[in-house]
Amino acid sequence: MALDDLRYQPTGGPSPEPPLRPGWLRWIAVAVAGLAAGSLLTFWWMSRAQPTTTTPASTTAADGGTTSNRPAPQPMPLPPLSASDSFLRDLVSVLSRHPTLARWLATPDLVRGATLAVVQIGDGRTPAGPLQALRPEIRVQVTGTDTGVVAAPSYRRWESAVSALTSIDPGDAAQVYVNVKPLLDEAYRELGYPGGNFDEAVTRAIRLLAETPAAPAAAVLLRRPAYFEYEDAALRSLRPVQKQFLLIGPDSQRQVLAWLRRFAAALDLPAA
């Protein structure tokens, strides 16, 4: 089976002030207290519209046996799904200013695109369409002409995308997720999932990536017309998105999986 990203490209390489009287001290104390109260009210109002992480109070499940880490949705009006791009950009851009993330945020129909990408990953497909803005310009390279192991520079192609993901605190991302989940659920229903609980898609996608085996350092790629494929039959039988996940390199794999597990834990999702 073809690797979506494996295009063939072989390598080369003042005066003192008088003392204040007691009456003045009382008025100053009142003014300071008023300013503090006003500042707190302003912070509370602004935080209603910002995806700042808050530490939610532990909630007890119905059976009284477990507690939940999942943050409660912050009160904010949600726009219609088809007019949600600027809303989502404002929320996510607060979490990170990474340039690669900014490039993805500039694409249209963000909620639908993110939803489709997660569904495709969970189905084993490579989300080349919805995540086109993150795709590196350099194609994969091998050490030989027709066959060879992945050249070390190839693993660096995805460092920017991985850095963009890990620049976001997973807890902050979980707060944004629960804030916009009604939009994600709607987009999920549009894709033919009438239950509309996007948690299921996220769990499925994380589990599939976590099940990707580690590729041997000497795993050989064979040249095919316009793409490469693994020589090893076990690696060749992996799902397309798992093959692509191997090509980001073992270090990036570990970073992505560690981030995804912390994100899932913040949402109480049963991801591996």
The percent of residues in the chain predicted with pLDDT above 90, rounded, is 59
Q: Has residue 40 got a pLDDT over 70?
A: no
Q: Has residue 54 got a pLDDT over 70?
A: no
Question: What is the DSSP secondary-structure string of the chain?
Answer: ---TT---------PPPPPPPHHHHHHHHHHHHHHHHHHHHHHHHHHTTS-----PPPEE-TTSS-EE-PPPPP--PPPPGGG-HHHHHHHHHHH---HHHHHHHTSS-HHHHHHHHHHHHHTT---TTTTGGG--SSPP-BSSSSEEEBPHHHHGGGHHHHHHHHTS-HHHHHHHHHHHHHHHHHHHHHTT-TT--THHHHHHHHHHHHTPPPPPTT-EEEEETTEEEESSHHHHTS-HHHHHHHTT-HHHHHHHHHHHHHHHHHTT----
Where does the pLDDT of residue 210 fall: very low under 50, low under 70, confident under 90, or very high at 90 and above? Answer: very high
Where does the pLDDT of residue 199 fall: very low under 50, low under 70, confident under 90, or very high at 90 and above? Answer: very high
Q: Has residue 136 got a pLDDT over 90?
A: no
Q: What is the pLDDT of residues 155-172, one digit of tens each?
A: 888 999 999 999 999 999
pTM for the predicted model, two decimal places: 0.75
